Every structure is written in C-alpha cells, then in structure tokens.
A and B are shown apart, each in its own frame.
Chain A
Amino acid sequence: MSQNSLSRRAFLGRTGAAAAGLAFGGSALAACSSSSATKTAGGKAVLNVMIDNVDTDQAFAPALKAFQAANDCVVKVSKFDQVKLNAALAAGSPPDLVRTNGAAEMPNIIARGLAENLDPYFAKSQYFKSDDLDPIIGVYKFDGKTQGKGSIYGIPSDYSQDAMIWYRTDMLDAAKIPHPSTTDPMSYDEYLTIGKQLTKRSGGKTQVYGFDPVWGFDNQAHLMQMIAQQGGSLWNDDFTKADFTTSEARKALQWYIDWGKARTGPGPLDQESNWDGPVYDADRIAIVSYGYWFSQEILGQDAGANSAKLQQVSVFAPAPQFGSTRVDACMSGSGAWIPAKAANKDLAFKFLEAWRGSGTDGAKAHFAQGGGLPLCLSNRKYLPQNTPFTSATYATQMNNVKYLSVLKFSPYAAGSAMEAALNTALTGAVQGGASLDATVSSLQAAVNGIIDSGKAQLGA
C-alpha cells in the first residue's frame, strides 16, 4: 500500500471527529442558512417583514410602494412560519418585523427577551400619540410581570371583541326565534338552547349548525372570559398558577363539554375541513361567535355571489355572557413586534407607522375594508359605514366597545401549549365521555407541567 494512501480506519476516524466537531458548531451552520440579507446588492436597506399578505394586499400596495421610495429600501415579505422564525431567532438573525396572534403570545415572547421595547419609538412618533391609543395597546404592554401594564412591545394590526355574535335573521325567522338584541347580551345557555333548535341534520349529515362559539379559536381566552364574567380568575396574581378547580372554571368547562355533545357547531364530534368562514358563507351556520373583523368575510371575495344576501341577513350582536359581570375582551389582537436582535429596528418602526399609524394611507386603506378596529382612535372614522349592513355593524360595535377589557395571560405558558392542553382535555371529555372531574384533573396536570417548564426556562 502506498505511503501516501489513507487507510480506511484512519479515514473513518477522522471523519467521525469531523462530524462531532461540526455538530457542536451546528448553530453556526443554522445561522448561515437562516440569516436574512439586510442590504441589497445596490446598498439599499432590506426590511425583512414576516407578516402574511403584506405584499399581496392590493389596498396596501400604493402605501407600500410609497414607503419603499420614501425610505430608499426594499421590503421583503415572507409568510409567517414558526419553524423559520425559531431558526432565525436561534441564529441571532431574525426578521425585522414578526407577526403575532397577539394576546396569548405576547407575554411569553416578551418574557423571553425576544421583543424590542418600543417606548422610545412611541415617545418620538408623529403617528402614534399616547392620547390617541386605544386601550387595546394593553395587549402589547408588559411590565415584567403583568400584561396590560408597563412598556409597549408591539402593535395590533387591528382588533375585535372576538366573542361577539353574528346571527342569520333568515334562519331565526324560519325557526320563529326572536332576534337577539344588538345592545344587550344573551347568556351562553340561551344561545346553546337556540342553537339546538336551529341545528338541522339529515341522513347523519349536519346541514346547518345552530351555534358555534368557535371551538379551537383561542379556547384559553374564551375560558378566561367566561370565568371573569362570573367574577373569578383563571390565573393567580403572579401568573404562576392556573386553577381549573374553582367553581367558575368547572362551570365553564362543563358548558363546553355540553356544547360539544350537543353538536350545534363544528367541534370534536363534528369536523369540518375548513374554518367557519366558508361554512357560514355556504349558509351552514346560523350563529357564530366572531368579532367585528368578520364583516370583511361577509363583504369580501370569500362570500362570492352570496355576499349581497349575507349582508342583508347577517346581524352583529354583543358577546354572550356567563355571569353578571359584563366582560367582552379582545382575545387575539393580532399584530406585529420587532425582535430585539432585528437589524433595522428604526426602519421597522417606520413601517409600523406607515402600516397602521394615525391618518396614514396604509391605515386608511386597511380600515376602510372593515377588517377590524384600529389601534389609533383617530382612525375609527375610516371604518365603513356607507351601507345599511356596515352602518348597523359599526353602530353595534361602537356601543359595545366600552365593555372592552384586556385579558392577562401568563408569561410562563406559551399560548399554543395552553391551547393544546385545553383541546386535548376537552376533546377527551366530549368524545371519550371522561367525567368533569377527570377532565379538570388531567387539564390541571398538563397546565402545571407547561408552567413549570416555562418557569424553568425563564429562571423563575
């Protein structure tokens, strides 16, 4: 064998050492693969925006073009992707702006030190004045312990009181059911009763669902609201414990189990291949619990040829109540935050101003479509009121907004983890017939584990 040749054993040994060495430097490779360019070849700044549809929103297109021209930059838009975001954050090269579902996610994101404190930017902003900000900004505030107080870490794109009701007058009239009031709320039990009357089945198929409180859409927030309406609270003062054993929590959980078994809406026993919007557009839901933003679904392309009819027969009403305390919270308030390690923070905040700031073209174009309520009170005048449907919807919303509250979520529990725990427990109860006690017990154990993990990660 030649003296210069490499023996197989030596080769395998060196290869193994190389693999082990490279494995410990794996994060460096991740950084290479996930870093985003911050400058174009021509030297223009590149603003990386991980928010869905910013580049395809026709209404925002002129404002986007003007923003790029005014700031000599290129806005590179990517769809929100949790996996890519995780990789980018771990590698230290995150996008400049990131979409969030809002309420349940922000405390956890802020507590992990991922989000930039925007107080200095707000202090200088010409488009976000402190006396013009809707109380919804509380969703993006955090003082280190409690959501709703302290510094600002993001903004909502828009918001709604997400448990409000949309009902079909034609379906209620056909069943001879009186229309719910557009100013005074009904109870969850009343809606469930009506829902059972309105649900139509034939041959084992559900043709029309009577009432859907939108199972799967921020279950944690819905539960927290139902408990608050009874005067209770799911979380303790420092958000280190969620108590599902209280009478208020048990009552709310039992209601969901009863609703699931009644099969008045898509749920554990009745599955749909799509979310409630297309199902509502297809005349298959009589009462659905969505906020002001759902008017855009009725007005928009998804409703198609049915839009005109839907506008005539859809009425907006206050959220149902589960107790004597009127609580009508925003459960999401999806928006955007600037990562602490973003490369272009100043430019990112300017984008937020152009996107949703007071009186900007971007804000005018967005709110004219009725997709939700604005962060800036001065932008409310752009909300549509030019048809009977939009003016009636606007009136109901403005009458109801005084009951808006900001729910407070725990920084130790990721929103997705809480949703997973709730969904698993309640599905087991509805499908498998587990008792309420067993459901509460399993849910409590799961959530305790989630909180313990979160506290360990945050060093609490």
Chain B
Amino acid sequence: MSDDAVSDNGALEAVPPRALAARGAAWTLQRGPRRWRRYSPWMFYAFVSPWLLGFLALTAIPMFYALGMSFTNFDGLSGHWHWVGFANYTKAWHDPHFWSGLRTTAVYGVVTVPLSLAGGLGLAVLVNRRLRAVGVFRTIFYLPSVIPVVATTLMFKLLFDRNTGLLNTVLSWFGVGAVGWLSDPWAFKIMVLLALWGLGGGMVIFLAGLQGIPAELLEAATVDGAGAWQRFRRITLPILSPVVFFQFVFATIASLQTVVQPLLLSPAVNSGAGGGFTDPTHVQAGDYLYMVHVYAQFFDYQQYGYGAALLWILFVVILVITAAILRSSSFWVYYEVEQDGKAGRR
C-alpha cells in the first residue's frame, strides 16, 4: 500500500513509499491555491540537535577518544605515553583472563537473558487478568526493579553473607550448615539471581504488549476450540514478537556490559581505617566477567590503553551479536504493519 499526497490541483496522488521515505522529514503538503511553505530541513535538525549534541559529546567523542587511546600505552596519569600500534589488541589475544572473562560473560548472558525474558513474560501473563487487586500485584512485582542496582547488590551481600547473612541464619534453624553463597561455586548463581531480581521491569513492557493484542482474535480462537496454550503460542506470542525482539536485544547488551554487580558482591578489601572498598581482583572467579577485567585494567593496573582496546573489542562483539539477532528476526518477528512493501512478517 502506498501513501497518498495531494497534488497541485488538489487531487490525491499515490506517492510510492520509497520516494516518500527518501524525502525524509522534509515532506511537502501542497493543496489547492493555498500552498503551505515547505518545512526546511533545518527545522528538523534544529529540533533533534539537543540529542545530537549530547550524542556527540557524551558518546561519539569519548568513543573515538578511546579508540585513539587503545593504540597507546597511556597510564591515565602522566604524559609518559607512546603509540604502540596494535600491541594492545594482540595482548588481548594472548591474555587468559580476556578469554575467561569473555567465556564467563557469555555463559552469564546465555543464562540470564532467556530467564529474564521468560520470567518477565510469565509475570506479565499472570497479571494481565481482571482480578481484584491485580494492581497491587503489579506494583509488588515492579517495585524491585525500581530500587537502584547498588542498593540491591549490597542488600544481597548482607542477605547471603556466610557468617552474618539472613539466609544462613534461617538455614541454621533447620540444622543446615552455613553456605558460602558469595564464594565460588555459588557466587555465579547468586549473581544470576540478582539479575532476575528486576524481572518487574520486563513485566511492565510485556504487559503493555499483551494489552495491545486484539481481544477479538483470542475470542475467535476460543470459539474455534483453541486451548490456552494454543492461543498463547499461535496468537499471543507472534503478535508480541516485536516486544520480545526489543527485550531480547536490550537484555543481551545489558548482560554483556554488567560490571557493578560482581564488583559489589565481592568481599571488601581489608585495608586500613575506613577501608572495605571493592577491588576487581577480589571478585570471585565465577563472577569475573569481561567488564570486571576491563575495570581492573583501568583502575588496578593503570593500563588505560589496554583497557580501551578491550572496550572496543567488546563493542565489536556487541555489534556482531546484535546484528545476528537483527538478522534472525526475519524468521520469528511478526509485524502487523507492512514493512518494506511486504505484508505481515518482516
């Protein structure tokens, strides 16, 4: 289906979608003897300039600055640095912690992303009903995602502390010995649990998607004899697939960038008075994610150049994974509105 535009003589004319898209925001509306002035493209760019300036100053410039830094041995402190070419990138190739961090992060992503999607969708399905006080349940499920991640992580640290934590205290009532929840091999599982603490955020987005599904479709399916699972699999999921796609991409990127949780879950550094700060080398092996290794390069080893190289490698990895997800979406994401002249499926 093409869009229509009004021609000079007031008649409607069909404008091919491609031509319309090529004009960008500077679309023309001409009608009868009264002609509207064409909006200058400057108007459009002026409105987006605040975002554009922010993007340049806070994203693009730091990224290219880091790219330049990745070819140096800059230590973050002094003017004593030199160009080292691709040495930082080859160093990463031979760094065992680079590979172990990447592997641990991949496992973390593979575990937490499906769980968070399924959990968020499951909660949304549960609260997408006309029940009494359903609003209360929605609030209860959503509240944990509102708490800042630092507060939540520190709370988990207190709850799961081996010697003083609430969980071990409760276990001791039943004669179960204390478990080192924050040490390997449990540390990774606690970190996963922490990631699932914020399921309510995904629930809200899925809920919005569920409430956009036309009720008559589900009613018609019911009349035709479809069961609950069939309705969910054949109607709800396909219509919800764009939302799932959106959540999938963002959850994947977020999991690859996780750094705060493993740092804060690690034991305190036993320094002098007022000590107790975190340090990446105190992070348990099971929690030693890729970004923790990056953090250590910057703030423990003062290898800013190498750290910047690691960040750019991660950026490329994220790009590749995101591109793969985008590519795959043509097989499982369904759009109600035509995309690129094709009806239904993208």
Contacts of A19 in B (CB 8 A): 56, 60-61, 64
Evaluate contact between A271 and B273: CB separation under 8 angstroms: no
* Residues in chain A near residue B267, CB distance under 8 A: 266, 271-273
In the complex, how many angstroms separate the beta carbon of A142 from the nearest chain B beta carbon? 15
Q: Which of B75, B78, B184, B281 contacts A424 (CB 8 A)?
A: B281
Are B282 and A423 within 8 A (Cβ)? yes
Q: Which residues of A contact B24 (CB under 8 A)?
A: 8
**Residues from 262 to 285 in A contacting B, C-beta threshold 8 Å:** 266, 269-277
Q: Which residue of B lies closest to A86 (CB)?
A: B76
Whether B270 contacts A23 by the Cβ 8 Å rule is no
CA distance A85 to B298 in the complex (A): 13
| In the bound complex, CA of A207 to CA of B77 (Å) | 43
B300 with A23: CB separation less than 8 A: no
* Contact indicator A205/B178 (Cβ below 8 Å): yes
Closest to B84 in A: A456
B162 near A112 with CB under 8 A, answer no
Interface residues on A, range: 35 or more
Q: Give chain B interface residues in 32-91, CB to chain A under 8 Å.
A: 38, 40-42, 45, 52, 56-57, 60-65, 68, 73, 75-82
* Docked-complex contact A273 and B68, CB < 8 angstroms: no
* B281–A427 touching, CB < 8 Å: yes
B79: chain A residues within 8 A (beta carbon): 113
Cross-chain contact A271 with B183 (CB below 8 angstroms):
yes
List, in ascending order, chain A residues with CB within 8 A of B172's CB. 203, 205
A-B contact count (CB 8 A): 180
**Pair B77/A203 contact, Cβ less than 8 Å:** no
> Which of A212, A294, A416 has the most B CB atoms < 10 Å from its CB?
A416
Q: B interface, by DSSP: helix, strand, loop or mixed?
A: loop
Bound CA–CA A423/B284 (angstroms):
12
Q: Which residues from chain A contact B77 at a C-beta distance below 8 Å? A: 85-86, 89-90, 109, 112, 114
Cβ B300 vs Cβ A5 within 8 A: no
Known pairs A272-B268, A431-B285; A23 contacts B78 (CB<8 A): no
Q: Are A269 and B40 in contact, CB atoms less than 8 angstroms apart? A: no
Do the beta carbons of B273 and A214 come within 8 Å of each other? no
- Interface residues contributed by chain B, number (CB under 8 Å): 63
With a CB–CB cut-off of 8 A, which chain B residues contact A52?
Answer: 274
A420→B279 contact, CB < 8 A: yes
- Decide if A459 is an interface residue (CB 8 Å cutoff): yes
Q: Which B residues touch A277, using CB under 8 A?
A: 273, 275
Chain B residue at smallest Cβ distance from A19: B60
> C-beta contact mask, A378-422 vs B, less than 8 Å → 1, else 0?
000000000000000000000000000000000000101101100
- B272 with A290: CB separation less than 8 A: yes
Minimum CB–CB distance for B179 against chain A, Å: 7
How many angstroms between the C-alpha atoms of A204 and B64 in the bound complex? 51
Taking a contact as CB atoms closer than 8 A, the residue among B56, B161, B272, B282 that contacts A18 in the complex is B56
Cβ of A11: which chain B residues have Cβ within 8 Å of it?
41, 45
Check A2 against B38 for contact (C-beta < 8 Å).
Answer: yes
In whole Å, how far is A372's beta carbon from the nearest beta carbon of chain B? 9
Q: Are A82 and B299 in contact (CB under 8 A)?
A: yes
Q: Residue of A at shortest CB range from B65?
A: A26
Q: Chain B's nearest CB lies how many Å from the CB of A128?
A: 24
- Contacts of B279 on A, CB cut-off 8 Å? 216, 419-420, 423
CB distance from A402 to the nearest CB of B (A): 23
Cβ–Cβ contact B162 & A205, under 8 A: yes
Q: Are A23 and B272 in contact (CB under 8 A)?
A: no
Query: Judging by beta carbons under 8 Å apart, are B268 and A273 in contact?
Result: yes
Residues of chain B in range 124-169 having any CB-CB distance to chain A below 8 Å:
157-158, 161-164, 168
CA distance A23 to B68 in the complex (A): 9
**B40 and A23 within 8 A (CB):** no
B41, B164, B301: the one contacting A6 at CB < 8 Å is B41
Interface contact B178-A204, CB-CB below 8 Å? yes
Alpha-carbon distance between A128 and B183 when the two chains are bound, in angstroms = 49
User: What's the minimum C-beta distance from B146 to chain A, rounded to whole angstroms?
Assistant: 24
Chain B residues whose C-beta falls within 8 Å of the C-beta of A377 in the assembled complex: none
Nearest opposing residue in chain A for B183, CB measure = A271
B247 → chain A, closest Cβ, in Å? 30
Q: Is B9 an interface residue (CB 8 A)?
A: no
CA distance A52 to B268 in the complex (A): 19
**Hey, which chain B residues are within 8 Å of A27, CB to CB?**
65
**Contact (A273, B157) CB under 8 Å given A216-B282, A293-B273, A453-B303:** yes
Find out whether the CB atom of A203 lies under 8 angstroms from the CB atom of B41. Answer: no
Q: Known pairs A217-B270, A217-B272. 7 more at Cβ < 8 A?
A: A8-B24, A22-B56, A207-B163, A269-B180, A270-B162, A417-B301, A420-B296
Task: Give 12 pairs: A residue, B residue, CB < 8 Å, sorted on A.
Answer: A18-B56, A19-B60, A26-B62, A85-B77, A114-B78, A203-B172, A216-B282, A271-B266, A273-B164, A273-B267, A417-B301, A419-B279
Q: Which 10 A-B pairs have the closest CB atoms?
A: A271-B267, A204-B178, A23-B64, A204-B177, A112-B78, A275-B275, A420-B300, A26-B65, A216-B270, A205-B178
Name B's A-contacting residues (CB within 8 A). Answer: 24, 26, 38, 40-42, 45, 52, 56-57, 60-65, 68, 73, 75-82, 157-158, 161-164, 168, 172, 177-180, 182-184, 266-276, 279-282, 285, 296, 299-303
A contact set with B: CB distance below 8 Å: 1-2, 4-8, 11, 15, 18-20, 22-24, 26-27, 29, 52, 82-83, 85-86, 89-90, 109, 112-114, 162, 203-207, 212, 214-217, 266, 269-277, 290, 293-294, 296-297, 332, 334, 371, 414, 416-417, 419-420, 423-424, 427, 431-432, 450, 453, 456-459
